[in-house]
Structure 1
Amino acid sequence: MKNHYDVIVIGAGAAGLFCAFNSAIRNKRVLVLDHANKVGKKILMSGGGRCNFTNLNTMYDDFTSENIHFVKSALNQYSAYDYLNLVESHNIEYVEKSPGQLFCKNSSKDILKMLLDECAKASVKIFKKCSINKINKSDIYSIETNVENYTANSLVVATGGLSIPTLGATGFGYEIAQQFGHKIVKTNASLVPFTLSKKILDKQKELSGVSLPVLVSNKNHNVEDDLLFTHRGLSGPAILKMSVYWKFGEEILIDLLPSKNIKEVIKSERLKHPDKLLINSLSVVLPKRLVLYLCNENLKELKLKQLDKPVIDQLVKTIHEWTVTPSGTEGYKTAEVTSGGISTEDISSKTLESKLHNNLYFIGEVLDVTGQLGGYNFQWAWSSAWCASQAVK
């Protein structure tokens, strides 16, 4: 049959392309369908155009899910080092920005080219601008599209989440899952900046562009990394990482100087320079614009020798325990990933096959698995896709 394939993969992103050629290597006839006009758009824009394609330090606790153990099997079967071997076999130059965090030295295009070259070598067919109208299942899967109708022994759903709709993200994968009886865990924008109320933004508008290392925490989690003040609110790696664990309406606590004790800094400075202005001493350890924001008019005129215990205690609270309640997040339009998704309850952690329907697989971001910032979500795409590729019939 002309339009019959062993495997049809829906979605030509990281997980979909990786699953496609690894399935085809096993002598499967594979077709990839995607509604977009270009494949791998999210790969191209990731990592500032240099694609943080994996993290060599990937561990199970770098992921969140309703079932925190679900990722273990896939990550054990296909590791970051396995993927790195593939990258090196294509002579792609890469750099390690922070321990384990690997980026392309030149461009994200190198990773997409590698995936497409592997697909071409394995005779994978990729059809773009192909909208799916209907999916049916009898003994095999029938897919009606705006182009032609196709059938397959196995169907792999690699449609991604809702993040960055301008790149073509939709909730289509969730619709397929629900059609076949799977539950959806509530989705949220994750790895995303926080927004602040107009009242707070009006007060701190002079801080836009200020960046510094902080410790951000809520009731259940803490993150130490850089924070960036923006004209919309708070961003930077510390905030993106915390967004995975934050719930709407919850306050966060920010230590603006986690590496030092401000009380000790003041004590040391006062012994050396008693007549020094407080704001000048604080500006040695914190950005000047932030110091001016934190200190009221009275504090700006105080010398170190004039500080009493109540003032120092207030500074400790202000600097080490700055509390803020975000008004929300910037949403899916800027979120790097979608948390929540297809519940892993009825998915095999070993093969990524549906427990409700034979030969139906869900891989990558469409599932209720969210990795931290730093290459973990790409590694989940590779690992989950690998497992499915080894199981498809």
Structure 2
Amino acid sequence: MAGSELDVLIVGAGAAGMMCAVEAGRRGRAVRVIDHARAPGEKIRISGGGRCNFTNLEGDRVERYLGRNPRFATSALKRFGPRDFITRVDRAGIAWHEKTLGQLFCDDSAKRIVRMLTDDMAEAGARLSLGVSVERLERVGDRFEAALSDGTTARAASLVLATGGKSIPKMGATGWAWDMARRFGLTVTETRPALVPLTFDPDWLARWAPLSGLSVDAVVEGGGARFREGLLFTHRGLSGPSILQISSYWREGEAITLSLAPDRDVGAEIRAAKVGNGKQMLHTALGQIVPRRLAEAVAAHEGLGGKLAEIGDRRLAALDAAINGWRVKPTGSEGYRTAEVTLGGVATDQLDQQTMMAKSVPGLFVIGEAVDVTGWLGGYNFQWAWSSGWAAGQVC
């Protein structure tokens, strides 16, 4: 069986793995990157509607990351932050724009980011092997030996686990990195889907199904967190940026609170409308505050209807709580199938925050989504991939 002697073997040609390969290659290291996929950077390609939300201007704010010890990410994020990656994007001639809340997207295709990384890898001398998986992996002396599906054996001083988590399995995502980490004695925290739509019981869905496709600006609270962004009613439950954000904090059995008309005193506005025109229908007046379909559904749920003059002020006041203090209890989420990332991963107390190397296994590195560091929606997880990959690439 043919074999190759390497300085660095990186398993996973995603954002973190490719960044690590570029940095290690630029240091003169002999690097090989393998991935079972047929194309590199598939999550990059599909992200942001095909335009890649490649970072966030505030992507180095460690309080916007989750995990048992989010501060673990501080070192990598501060040493290679959003502006460092933007500099590379600018150097590659990739035009970009800020959408909302510091989120940066390519003006053109996300494939430009993938091409930038593959070009940088080639220039750095890193070898990329696609459609190749690991069939056997073990430590032999002071090196790692991997039997690969292409019939070769790779031996390397450094092994980098960069295959991510389980989110979007249709793209080949698995828990392989965690299995390998456990094999080498590392601890893996509880893992679960994150940045994912929430689902509800059949009765709830039947009641609110007519709102499917409706989007509103909303404040969503739960699990000690609060987000104001768009909310989308779906045929399975609730989605949209605010729901995806809160899903990382929500746990089964807990309720979340929705404010569907933030900054509006619904009760006061409806009572004022009653004084101004008591003959106006309730759903018409409420439809001036929230979308008409939502107004009709909320009024029906509260058992209210008819002309404003026919409804007592106390009952009208309850509309504010119904719209801006609506407590709902999800039954679950859509799972890894639609989750953008995975919460949890290799425990950060097992890794050196400066280098991303396992404290107990010299030469073993874990980066990106495989680590117990998960960012908010909006470019934070890509920034963690760039930063952690960069950090490992300086020393592996």
Cα drift, residue 110 of structure 1: 0.5
Given residue 285 of structure 1, which amino acid in structure 2 is its aligned partner?
Answer: I
Q: In 1, are the aligned partners of 2:55 and 2:379 still within 8 Å (CA)?
A: yes
TM-score (norm 1): 0.97
Cα drift, residue 219 of structure 1: 4.4
SS of 2:345's equivalent in the other structure is strand
Aligned to 2:85: 83
Cα drift, residue 263 of structure 1: 1.9
Is 1:139 matched up with 2:142?
Answer: yes
Cα drift, residue 343 of structure 1: 0.6
Q: In 1, are the aligned partners of 2:133 and 2:149 still within 8 Å (CA)?
A: yes
| 1:48-59 paired onto structure 2 within 5 Å | 48-58=49-59, 59=61
| 1:253-268 paired onto structure 2 within 5 Å | 253-268=257-272
Cα drift, residue 272 of structure 1: 2.8
SS of 1:284's equivalent in the other structure is coil
Given residue 19 of structure 1, which amino acid in structure 2 is its aligned partner?
Answer: C
SS of 1:217's equivalent in the other structure is strand
| 1:162-181 paired onto structure 2 within 5 Å | 162-181=166-185
Q: In 1, are the aligned partners of 2:223 and 2:251 still within 8 Å (CA)?
A: no
- Residues 119-128 or 261-270, more deviating: 261-270
Question: Size of the alignment, in residue pairs?
Answer: 391
Q: In 1, are the aligned partners of 2:194 and 2:247 still within 8 Å (CA)?
A: yes
CA distance in 2, matches of 1:149, 1:245: 42
Aligned to 1:152: 156
Aligned to 2:96: 94
CA distance in 1, matches of 2:223, 2:155: 50
Cα drift, residue 2 of structure 1: 6.1
CA distance in 1, matches of 2:28, 2:329: 54
Residues 224-278 of structure 1: CA distance to partner in whole angstroms, max 9, x if unpaired? 1110000111000000000000001211111111121112212332343232222
CA distance in 1, matches of 2:177, 2:70: 22
CA distance in 2, matches of 1:319, 1:100: 29
Given residue 87 of structure 1, which amino acid in structure 2 is its aligned partner?
Answer: V
SS of 1:126's equivalent in the other structure is strand
Is 1:11 matched up with 2:12?
Answer: yes
Q: 1:248 aligns with which of 252, 255, 274?
A: 252
Is 1:275 matched up with 2:276?
Answer: no
Given residue 268 of structure 2, which amino acid in structure 1 is its aligned partner?
Answer: E
Aligned to 1:60: 62
Aligned to 1:299: 304
SS of 2:294's equivalent in the other structure is helix
- Any stretches of 5+ residues in structure 2 without a counterpart? none
Given residue 156 of structure 2, which amino acid in structure 1 is its aligned partner?
Answer: A
SS of 2:186's equivalent in the other structure is coil
Given residue 107 of structure 2, which amino acid in structure 1 is its aligned partner?
Answer: K
Structural RMSD (CA): 1.3
CA distance in 2, matches of 1:259, 1:151: 61
Q: 1:313 aligns with which of 317, 320, 330?
A: 317
Given residue 25 of structure 1, which amino acid in structure 2 is its aligned partner?
Answer: R
Is 1:334 matched up with 2:342?
Answer: no
